[in-house]
Amino acid sequence: MKRIIYTFIILLAGLSVSAQTPDQIFKAAGSPPNPKVQVSWNRYYTSEGLWAIAKKLSEAHPNLVKVETIGKTYEGRDMIALTITDFSKGNVDRKPGMYVDGNIHSNEIQGGEFAMYTAWYLAESWYYNDFIKDLLADKVFYIVPTINPDARNDYMKGVNTANTPRSGMMPIDDDRDGLVDEDGYDDLNGDGEVTMMRRKNPNGRYIVDPTDPRQMIEVEAGEPGEYEMLGYEGKDNDGDGEVNEDRVGGYYDPNRDWGWNWQPEYIQRGAHKYPFSVPENRNVMEFVMKHPNIGGAQSFHNSGGMILRGPGAEEDRGTYNATDDKVYDAIGELGESIMPGYTYMVVWKDLYTAFGGELDWFHGCRGIFTFTNELYHPYFMFGKDYKGGRRGDEVQKDMYKFEKNLLMTDAFLDWKEFDHPELGKIEIGGFRKNFGRDNPGFLLENDAHRNMAFLIFHAYHTPKLVIEKVEEKDLGGGLKQVTATIANKRLIPTHSSHDTKNKIIRPDYISLEGANVVAGMIVTDVDMNKTSEQKVAPAKIAVENIPGMEAVTVRWIVSGSGKYTVKVDSEKGGVVTK
């Protein structure tokens, strides 16, 4: 009997890792019906787990997915990037590019899954979806699933709370006592989690919620209490009378390390030694610098349901003007419409001041239209907006209801007594670290798909250049006038206004090849036939920008006859010829 049961289990295991046959599938709208790489998107993966998915995608779809190492982490791990495109169509390095990353903050883990879901969806949908097929013929996606693989693993496997570690694994002396990591969190009761400590105290400020014994309620001033809250599990490991004052990895913020408006620690808490002193960020910077075709970028963080764009500091308002703002607004507002619970916001104006942030470096130093998505929102629990008043209290109460009624009490550890070496008799309990900031499993794929759809819309609107028409006019005397109109069919220009002002990326070149060019000019007013001549190298006209949803017109005077080619060469808009 046991042998029969074991055989049955083995057969089931085999079925679970193999794609179904086509006759067993009824396609759900918007999803690949029978993916070659089967991935469960209702769970989280370690850094190695993400790399395994990337490897499987590249092996299953060699015509669409390439994986490369872009550098080493602080602890010596490989940082990987996936390049997703139709490699059989065009020059990959010259296609308009979209950069994506996640998990720069180690505890903000779902960015890794959202980024990898994007790669998976693009590769698997290419066979079934004409829109994706056309998109990957035109565009290239560069996806770094996790910027912070060392600390991602530490968050998942180590003794941490939902809020730690935020940084990477570089040792930092938080309390400046000359010791590092000597007094981090402790899993006191050995249950594999770091939850909260409470102690009975008639002068405490908390009582047990009579409707839910798991929850603590703060009493009004003057009312008697029952408990005092003592923070997360921990003890005084270094004998300095403090608990949990040095966190694992110390505190630095990888999103305050970028080389745009960077400020030192005494101005911007979390800044490290100097811009790009964090090796993982430096790897990304060098990768992006090697790919000037990147016109759009998104970075996945958590939490709060926000679509953020710069500037991070009010001092940088000048790096954005009305022209760029219109592009950001059009894309950001679309994001609000397809991601319920998310709000489009400007960092410095709607949140706080942040110096040395990734999105500011992308925009300020590379002229790339960039968003940061703060993933997950309490709205996802019961569809409430939680606006105004005591929002935090209402969210807290609903978290307990949600955990009980939808997670089947899987995310809360009941209060249990413990003899603390310094604090005496206490109780330990509370939410696990995987609840509060991270999407619960059944909400993970839904949120990933909506964010991916927003990202694809953004990528779709990187420049698409078309030579709309080429007109000839005989001028007599063996001379001919050739006029070409080049349109950008998408929202994002070939150069942001900030880029144009600071000449970050070289101009777009519109060339007439195969003809004897006597003169070349930009037509500044088509109706009034006004032009601006380029006297040097007239066959190759330099255009500072091809705006989104607009066109530019250039003109040449040529002598002689014969065939010729009009060629447009744009770093962010690609190469087109006619």
Give residue-wise pLDDT tens across range 27-42.
999 999 999 999 999 9
* Cα 375 versus chain centre, distance: 9
Report residue 512 CA to chain centroid gap: 40
Pairing label, strands 306-309, 343-346: parallel
The model carries a pTM of 0.92
Q: What are phi and psi of 350, to 5 degrees?
A: -105, -15
Q: For residue 250, what pLDDT band results from cuts at 50, 70 and 90?
A: low
User: In Å, how far are 118, 163, 233, 339 from 439, measured between CA atoms?
Assistant: 17, 14, 24, 15
Instruction: Please name the helix (run of DSSP H) or strand (run of DSSP E) that holds residue 137, with its range, or none.
Output: helix 130-138
Task: Tell me which range, 240-244, 247-251, 572-576, is most confidently predicted by mean pLDDT.
Answer: 572-576
**Sign of the CA dihedral with 420 first, then 424, 430, and 436 last:** negative
CATH architecture assignment, domain 465-577: Sandwich (2.60)
pLDDT attached to residue 33: 92
Chain region(s) in the chain for CATH 3.40.630.10: 49-154+263-376+452-460
Which of these ranges, 50-59, 235-244, 392-401, 519-528, has the smallest mean pLDDT?
Answer: 235-244
Which among 140, 467, 131, 450 is positioned nearest to 296, based on CA atoms? 140
Helix (H, G, I), strand (E, B) or coil at 321: coil
- How far is the C-alpha of 81 from the C-alpha of 324, rounded, in Å? 28
Q: Which residues are catalytic?
A: 374
Q: Mention every residue, 6+ apart, whose C-beta is less than 8 A from residue 493.
A: 323, 327, 463, 545, 546, 547, 548
Segments of the chain assigned to CATH 2.60.40? 465-577
Tell me the longest C-alpha to C-alpha distance in the chain: 104
Looking at the chain, how many residues does it have?
578
Q: How many CA atoms lie within 13 A of 355 on its CB side?
A: 15
Residue 439 burial (CB count, 10 A): 25
Tell me the DSSP string of 105-133: STT-THHHHHHHHHHHHHHHHTTT-HHHH
The class level of CATH for 49-154+263-376+452-460 reads alpha beta
Comparing 246-250, 329-333, 452-456, 510-514, the range with the smallest average pLDDT is 246-250
